[in-house]
Structure 1
Amino acid sequence: MQTATWPPGGLALVPHNLARDKCVSRNDYKAGSQLLSITSYATTLLDSEKGRRCDFCFSLPRDTTHLKRCSGCGSYWYCDEHCQSAQWQTHHKRVCRTYNPFLVSPEYQALPDYKKLDSIMLSHVIAQLSLLPDPYAFQESAPSSLLMSLIAGPDKSLAPPICPVKPIPPPGLVQKLYARFGNNNFAIHSHLNTIGHGIFPQTSRLFNHSCLPNSAAKYIFEPGAAIRMEVVALRDIAKGEEVCLPYLDPALLETREQILEFSYGFQCQCPTSLFLRRIGPLTDTPAVENEMLKISEELLEFVGVDSTKALISLPNKPLESLPPSLYCVLRESYMGGLSETFSKASHEGQYDIALQSGDTLLSLYLLVYPLNYPQIGMHCLEMAKTIWNVVITSTDQNKGRVLKDQARRYLVLARRVLDVFGPEGDEGGPLQEIAILDGLLQSAKTRE
């Protein structure tokens, strides 16, 4: 797809010594700058979100009884007639009558859940192509042509069955499209919770992967409009620097190499990936509680998180400088266990355990995630909320003043990170929670 507006904005595609191309910045960008804004080519909601959200724009109404159900199939819901008409013209008119019989067919029911999602998305794509003036023709300047130009993934499995569409697609087309699915699908999230999947061919064509990316994708839902992806700079990006996205969660330290090779067909050469390959198999985490505590204390000291007070700024330690005695914290089970302990203790009022595990988890986040990655900000917000819960349950006024100061500092850190990423998904969310908690802390300070 070579037009006057491609690549869009301040981005350029230039040759890369390992990949097909690389996307570089034509300008200097500050952290939080929008690098790309693009609408989806095709989307589908997770089953758990069907009937809760509009199938076209993914908006979440305050009252789901106001959603308008498709009178034809009864399986798609919309904000109003506008969204229904927009999706009808995009693809739904081709699948409305055949959708429900397809869902109960033995071929569809036999699919694993992830392939069912692929099947519906693939059906939407084929239906959309069938409505072109010249069905299944890929004009050079069309997004459909860009979709077909994407490199097929290494997975050679057969395409799942699709909902019957007329005119019938030509032989081999469904398989060719499916070959580009596994490595070009994006998880669409609201407040970092996945609610659906989408195809954004322009984004797939532009950005290579990095385990320490300098940008990230977020999603904007507007009633009556197709879902929009915005790519924002996580840190300052210099003119000529490559712009990269994470293809998967950077915290998947043990499995990411296998996932990248299986789903995308390459081996990452970033510093952290090279480091992980160099150190070999990770040591086991201790099974004894005292040993686990020592590991936690060493990690806190290494990263620079003081568990006795909140941070003024977020430290930044490269993963490659991690001492061998702490290699065990890179096991995915270690982070998962910490996250579960923190969440459970916070909700059950075991605040000493929550704050201790929360500080350790923050240290690990700062080690494995890049600067201003939204998960860091979200965790700082959760720490501030947990400390506030300690404040309102404590009868010790002196302790309360210290804790309120800690909560304010964590809230400042949360805002710094999440202001860079910006609002995304549904209304409200973490930035609004920060404003509410900040108001509570200000009121509490006024009363002192």
Structure 2
Amino acid sequence: MVIFVPMTEEAVDCATGAAGEGSAESLISPSSRSASTSMGAVELVALEEGPATGVEGWSSCNFARLLRLQRKKSRGSERGGVVCHRQVYQRGRKRDEATRRGWKYGGGQLVAWKRHHQNMCKLFLPFTSSYDFVNAEKHTQLDSLLLSQTIAGHYLPFIDSPQKLASEATLLLSLLPHPDPLPTPPLPKSLNYLTNPISPQENLAKALSSRGTNNHWVVYSSELDPVAHAIYPSASRAFNHSCAPNAIPVYIYGDDHQGPKMQVRALERLEKGDEVTVPYIDPAQPYKVRQDVLMMTYGFVCRCPRCSIDQTLQTKIPRSPDSTSAFVALYPELIRLVFGDFPIPFEGLVELPSLHTRPLPDHLLLLKVDSHLPYLSGRFRDASHDQDHIIANETGNALLALYLTIYPPAYPVVGHHLLEMTKASWNHYLQVFAPDISSAPARDVLIRANVCLKLAEELIPTSQSTGDVLVDGAWESRAAVEMKMLRDLLDAEGR
């Protein structure tokens, strides 16, 4: 586990290299820093780690995207149902940030060719057309590709040198295997000898496979879209899971072609002695889904404060209603619970309340049925898209309140929702009131937009994040570009 220690000079000296070195309690590494925001002084947890040497292949976005790309035959990116790495990065093809920075500039393709292309590309056409691969579950197909790339990139070069192979394998094999691992996924025939239990490599594929499922992390873009899977051994050893986390991993893409770095950031003020916990899965998933996924993927039962509360509520949660109007009728009460008597335009709101570790009152438990959150988020999205301003405002308020009963206030989903609320409010003002701001309703809409944007600016990290938009020769996150544009527009209206 990781225990938080404020970054005094003495703590920095003793913390160097401590995280993830196998000790029962690891200190925060010395790159920790403080950030004062309107949400309070938040310590940023310092662990910053690139994909592990020897398992970088598990973090490559091309494999995570491979199965999705196979469905896009009209784009000409596959041959016989197979997508090769090299085809993903053709000139002119739209790239996500991981490929754009790591491949388009600075020779990333050459690095990848030397590491694994020369070993793997010739294997994929027959392998991905084979009976075993085609008839496997999608997650098994992904496991096959990830495992194959890891072996090709980091183990085949040393396969005739057991001493070097042992050194390469040590880092990943030091992680705990899944307590009940699935069978080793199918591999290209040329790699099958690695599954032979009497081989000198002692069934390397099985050993790697048993550690992949419960030690991988889903890598997200700045837009919170999953783009890859990666293994970060220090983080896997150091951070325990909680559905009510006080920290969260974010992923930083650089220009060093080494894959995205994980940076673990605090979600709240941490005190000396606090254990730093992160979410392995989305805390918004229903209790039973969370428990099933954590057991199947990681092999444990979660007993965090959030799950302890949710477990006691399971028998009280009603069945899903026949009509969604039953949900809507509870939204005013939910908003009052979260924001009290604060006026809906949110004028003067500088800090979001934290209710994610408190149980909902019994009369609001209908809002915890599995179908409710997808309904509400979809209703807000559709209303915003269709310019149904009244519904967008009402559902936006309710969704914000619901998120604050699920996530810590500084959780990225909350910040991005506030940005969406800002855009909805600006569109409302522009289409209904502009350029006249003299009426009370117009002022309320602008107040709401300003408050939501200010909170979003505090919560959404914009530095060192994945870039999605090219601005003045530099890549910036789409959220950062949108926030700057909205800030300029709102400031202009206020003058």
Q: Pick the TM interval, shorter chain.
A: 0.7 to 0.9
Instruction: State how far apart, in whole Å, the 2-side matches of 1:402 and 1:62 are.
Output: 48
Counterpart for residue 309 of structure 1: 345
Instruction: State how far apart, in whole Å, the 1-side matches of 2:105 and 2:462 are.
Output: 33
Aligned to 1:169, the other structure's residue is in SS state helix
Give per-residue Cα distances to partners, 1:391-447, cap 9 Å, x unaligned. Answer: 11013632323211210100011111113997335432212211111011112222x
TM-score, normalised via structure 1 length: 0.84
Answer whether contact 1:232 1:421 (CA < 8 A) is retained.
Answer: no
- More deviation in 400-409 or 376-385? 400-409
Structure 1 residues 338, 143: CA separation in 2 closer, same or farther (over 3 Å shift)?
Answer: farther
1:206 aligns with 2:214: no
User: Which structure 2 residues correspond to residues 416-431 of structure 1 after superposition, within 5 A?
Assistant: 416-419=458-461, 423-424=465-466, 426=468, 427-431=476-480
Answer whether contact 1:210 1:268 (CA < 8 A) is retained.
Answer: yes
Instruction: State how far apart, in whole Å, the 1-side matches of 2:303 and 2:103 are.
Output: 44
User: Which structure 2 residues correspond to residues 232-251 of structure 1 after superposition, within 5 A?
Assistant: 232-251=265-284
Answer whether contact 1:32 1:419 (CA < 8 A) is retained.
Answer: no
| Aligned partner (choices 260, 264, 270) of residue 231 of structure 1 | 264
Aligned length: 426
Structure 1 residues 93, 326: CA separation in 2 closer, same or farther (over 3 Å shift)?
Answer: same
Residue 291 of structure 1 aligns to which amino acid in structure 2? A
Counterpart for residue 429 of structure 2: 391
Answer whether contact 2:352 2:409 (CA < 8 A) is retained.
Answer: no
Residue 415 of structure 1 aligns to which amino acid in structure 2? E
Instruction: State how far apart, in whole Å, the 1-side matches of 2:266 and 2:160 are.
Output: 38
Aligned to 2:398, the other structure's residue is in SS state helix
Q: CA deviation at 1:173?
A: 2.1
| Aligned partner (choices 142, 146, 150) of residue 121 of structure 1 | 146
1:408 aligns with 2:429: no
1:219 aligns with 2:238: no
- More deviation in 273-282 or 219-228? 219-228
Answer whether contact 1:154 1:262 (CA < 8 A) is retained.
Answer: no
Answer whether contact 2:251 2:263 (CA < 8 A) is retained.
Answer: yes
Counterpart for residue 18 of structure 1: none
Aligned to 2:461, the other structure's residue is in SS state helix
Q: CA deviation at 1:276?
A: 1.1
Q: Structure 2: which 5+ runs fail to align?
A: 1-12, 35-41, 71-76, 79-83, 97-101, 197-202, 469-475
Q: CA deviation at 1:211?
A: 0.9
Identity percentage over the alignment? 28
Q: CA deviation at 1:343?
A: 0.4
Q: CA deviation at 1:248?
A: 0.1
Q: CA deviation at 1:90?
A: 2.3
Q: CA deviation at 1:131?
A: 3.7
Aligned to 1:315, the other structure's residue is in SS state coil
Instruction: State how far apart, in whole Å, the 1-side matches of 2:351 and 2:160 are.
Output: 56
User: Which structure 2 residues correspond to residues 176-215 of structure 1 after superposition, within 5 A?
Assistant: 176-190=207-221, 191-215=223-247
User: Which structure 2 residues correspond to residues 230-309 of structure 1 after superposition, within 5 A?
Assistant: 230-254=263-287, 255-281=289-315, 282-288=317-323, 290-304=325-339, 306=342, 308-309=344-345
Instruction: State how far apart, in whole Å, the 1-side matches of 2:449 and 2:358 are.
Output: 31
Q: CA deviation at 1:165?
A: 4.4
TM-score, normalised via structure 2 length: 0.77
Answer whether contact 2:429 2:442 (CA < 8 A) is retained.
Answer: yes
Instruction: State how far apart, in whole Å, the 2-side matches of 1:135 and 1:204 are.
Output: 29
Counterpart for residue 44 of structure 2: 33
Q: CA deviation at 1:290?
A: 4.7
Give per-residue Cα distances to partners, 1:90-147, cap 9 Å, x unaligned. Answer: 2222212112221212221112222211111000111123344455847699563121
Residue 214 of structure 2 aligns to which amino acid in structure 1? N
Q: CA deviation at 1:33?
A: 2.1
Counterpart for residue 351 of structure 1: 389
- More deviation in 105-114 or 379-388? 105-114
Give per-residue Cα distances to partners, 1:332-363, cap 9 Å, x unaligned. Answer: 32111100000011001111111111111111
Answer whether contact 2:214 2:298 (CA < 8 A) is retained.
Answer: yes
Answer whether contact 1:251 1:369 (CA < 8 A) is retained.
Answer: yes
- More deviation in 35-44 or 286-295? 286-295
Structure 1 residues 218, 137: CA separation in 2 closer, same or farther (over 3 Å shift)?
Answer: farther
1:375 aligns with 2:416: no
Aligned to 2:262, the other structure's residue is in SS state strand
Instruction: State how far apart, in whole Å, the 1-side matches of 2:367 and 2:310 are.
Output: 12
Q: CA deviation at 1:287?
A: 3.2
Residue 249 of structure 1 aligns to which amino acid in structure 2? D
Aligned to 2:268, the other structure's residue is in SS state coil
| Aligned partner (choices 324, 329, 341) of residue 362 of structure 2 | 324
Answer whether contact 2:246 2:408 (CA < 8 A) is retained.
Answer: yes
Q: CA deviation at 1:368?
A: 0.7
Answer whether contact 1:218 1:229 (CA < 8 A) is retained.
Answer: yes
Answer whether contact 1:95 1:164 (CA < 8 A) is retained.
Answer: no
Instruction: State how far apart, in whole Å, the 2-side matches of 1:302 and 1:138 are.
Output: 62
- More deviation in 77-86 or 230-239? 77-86
Answer whether contact 2:50 2:258 (CA < 8 A) is retained.
Answer: yes
Answer whether contact 1:307 1:356 (CA < 8 A) is retained.
Answer: no
Answer whether contact 2:252 2:464 (CA < 8 A) is retained.
Answer: no
1:169 aligns with 2:203: no
| Aligned partner (choices 481, 486, 491) of residue 437 of structure 1 | 486
Counterpart for residue 38 of structure 2: none
Instruction: State how far apart, in whole Å, the 1-side matches of 2:135 and 2:274 are.
Output: 46
Instruction: State how far apart, in whole Å, the 1-side matches of 2:487 and 2:292 are.
Output: 43
